[in-house]
Amino acid sequence: MKIIKNFPNYHESTPLALSIGTFDGVHLGHQSIINQLNTVAQKKNLESAILTFWPHPRTVFSPDDDLKLLNTIEEKTYFLQKHGVQNLFLKEFDADFRNLTGEEFVKQILVERLNIKHLIIGHDHTFGKNKSGDFSLLEKMAPESGFEVEQVEAVDFRDKHISSTQIRNALAAGNVKEANEMLGYVYSVAGKVVHGRKIGRTIGYPTANIAVDQIKLLPKKGAYIVDVFVKGQHLKGMLSIGTNPTVAGEELSVEVYILNFEDDIYGEAISVNFREFLHEEIKFENLEKLVERLDEDKIRTEKFQF
């Protein structure tokens, strides 16, 4: 997959079948668009392409919202490539760009720069200043601009349209199974193993503290069954997101206890897949009560079938 950032001097002659959007999560709805994009590209002898934005437009328009995302830019790139996208245009959502009207965006970016011949958008996609661009504008401009346009219907899950917002809400509620169904894959977080307070090792449950990218959405505070990928190994784990209230913790941490594993992994890259919610974050009376619950969680984790 070719990755083109900001494309200030991009004037390739390659005709494109293109879709536009943030594609946060690259969920089943996005995958439906990509599948249609690849089908059209192959049929019409075009190259498939995605135009997406970084940072997320909402972080520009509503900086106080502290929006967390389902994908880092690296994860999004990985998933788009996995699903067969041939070209990825990464556009910084800067002041000049966000002031383009819908019509200017079509003329200056899509037609003059990117040479699109077929455009596919999602069921509710808008673009341009004050959301002045939509499917009706594209239908009007397409014939005179030399491209075709189509709109892909939403993919539904439990009578609701799948969206990045729906998935964020599910994760915020601890409903990782529901989020995974809408994503079409298992939600994960990754980072390097860093030093923590090392309290876990004193009670027989040493944990690896994961330094997660600040932009990445963490599921609800609590305990989860996860599978762990570290040093080329695939293992079971129990993960905690929280402040460790039993030992008067204050800062939010992501810690995983890896079953049947004793290697020193400080500084190693690690990723975890969220499989099942175990329970809410709990403040126990003492460490003994904490260990009792960890023992119960361990039994459930050992029995869990990935």
Model confidence over 231-270: pLDDT tens digits? 999 999 999 999 988 777 778 999 999 999 999 999 999 9
User: pLDDT per residue over 140-182, tens digit each?
Assistant: 999 999 999 999 999 999 999 999 999 999 999 999 999 999 9
- For CA atoms 123, 126, 132, 134, the dihedral sign is negative
Give the pLDDT confidence score for residue 146 in this predicted structure.
Answer: 95
Residue with tokens 């990754």: 190
Question: Residue 39: which residues within 8 A CB-CB, separation 6 or more?
Answer: none
Average model confidence (pLDDT) for the chain?
93
Give the pLDDT confidence score for residue 247 in this predicted structure.
Answer: 78
The more confidently predicted of residues 125 and 175 is 175
How far apart are the C-alpha atoms of 23 and 133, rounded to whole Å?
Answer: 18
Local confidence band at 210 (pLDDT 50, 70, 90 cut-offs): very high
- Report which of 37, 131, 129 is spatially closest to residue 83, judged by C-alpha positions: 37
Could you tell me where in the chain the CATH 3.40.50.620 domains are found? 2-161
- Mean pLDDT value of segment 284-294: 92
Q: How do beta strands 222-230 and 233-242 pair?
A: antiparallel
Whether residue 301 has pLDDT greater than 90: yes
Give the pLDDT confidence score for residue 230 in this predicted structure.
Answer: 98
Could you tell me where in the chain the CATH 2.40.30.30 domains are found? 186-303
Select 186-303's CATH number: 3.40.50.720, 3.40.50.2300, 2.40.30.30, 3.40.50.1000: 2.40.30.30
The superfamily in CATH containing domain 2-161 is: HUPs (3.40.50.620)
- Mean pLDDT value of segment 187-193: 98
pTM here?
0.93
Element (H, E) at 161: strand 160-161
Q: Are 241 and 220 in contact (CB under 8 A)?
A: yes
Give the pLDDT confidence score for residue 38 in this predicted structure.
Answer: 97
Local confidence band at 196 (pLDDT 50, 70, 90 cut-offs): confident
